[in-house]
């Protein structure tokens, strides 16, 4: 038995040439740049440090509370304003008042813990809040007394399908109601993706 070896086989399986000095220097330089960026990033992570506050809650409306001296806007949701009305069965009703009452029931007098690091335009902490094991942000959307505002879209879809809370009738989106009644500029949504974007901007703000 004989095997035919192509004249080019030796060339095809030859060991690769060693990288040139310039290529190796470029690799070392790129590694040094990446390492430097990681060091700078670690040095600035304190700019996005999460704050946590807890205590007895004063319920202001369906998506904002006060814990001690800390005013908190619940992140990722938007509830009807306290004086807002909605419409159901051909009549107006105080949906803003009912949204606040829903949050009162969810808290049920228990201590509340909120954590977050962003602030809204009014200086309020954008917080994820819990009373015991109850995630208040999620529960307000599930109950139909707040709409998704950057987060909790699946919970909103379920509440809408069940005609829970404000979904039992018709209503203006809270952001639209604020704009038409108080002339407020529509605030941007503050869900998970917005939080990531804010963190990146905060880290690189002074670079």
Domain definitions of the chain by residue range: 17-47, 51-203
User: 10 Å Cβ neighbour count for 125?
Assistant: 22
Task: Find tokens 């040094």 and name the residue.
Answer: 32
Q: Which CATH architecture has domain 51-203?
A: Beta Barrel (2.40)
- Do 99 and 164 form a contact (C-beta atoms < 8 A)? no
Q: What is the mean pLDDT of residues 66-85?
A: 97
d(CA 118, CA 148): 18
Residue 51: the pLDDT is: 87
Q: Which residues are catalytic?
A: 73, 81, 124
Above 50 in pLDDT, residue 201? no
Prediction pTM value: 0.69
Q: Per-residue b/e over 184-204, b at no fewer than 16 CB within 10 Å?
A: eeeeeebbeebbeebeeeebe
d(CA 114, CA 75): 10
Q: What is the mean pLDDT of residues 57-62?
A: 98
């Amino acid at each position: 038995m004989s095997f035919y070896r192509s004249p080019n086989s030796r060339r095809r399986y030859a060991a690769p040439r060693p990288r040139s000095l310039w290529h190796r220097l470029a690799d070392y330089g790129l590694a040094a740049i990446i390492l430097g960026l990681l060091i700078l990033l670690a040095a600035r992570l304190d700019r996005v440090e999460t704050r946590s506050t807890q205590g007895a809650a004063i319920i202001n409306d369906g998506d904002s509370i006060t814990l001690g001296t800390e005013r908190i806007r619940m992140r990722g949701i938007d509830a009807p304003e306290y004086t807002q009305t909605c419409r159901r069965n051909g009549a107006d009703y105080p949906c803003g008042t009912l949204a606040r009452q829903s949050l009162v029931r969810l808290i049920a007098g228990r201590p509340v813990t909120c954590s977050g690091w962003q602030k809204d335009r009014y200086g309020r902490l954008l917080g994820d809040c819990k009373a015991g094991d109850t995630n208040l942000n999620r529960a307000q959307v599930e109950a139909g007394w707040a709409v998704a505002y950057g987060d909790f879209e699946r919970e909103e879809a379920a509440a809408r399908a069940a005609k829970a809370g404000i979904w039992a009738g018709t209503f203006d989106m809270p952001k639209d109601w604020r704009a038409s009644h108080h002339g407020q500029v529509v605030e941007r949504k503050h869900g998970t993706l917005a939080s990531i974007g804010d963190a990146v901007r905060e880290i690189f703000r002074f670079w």
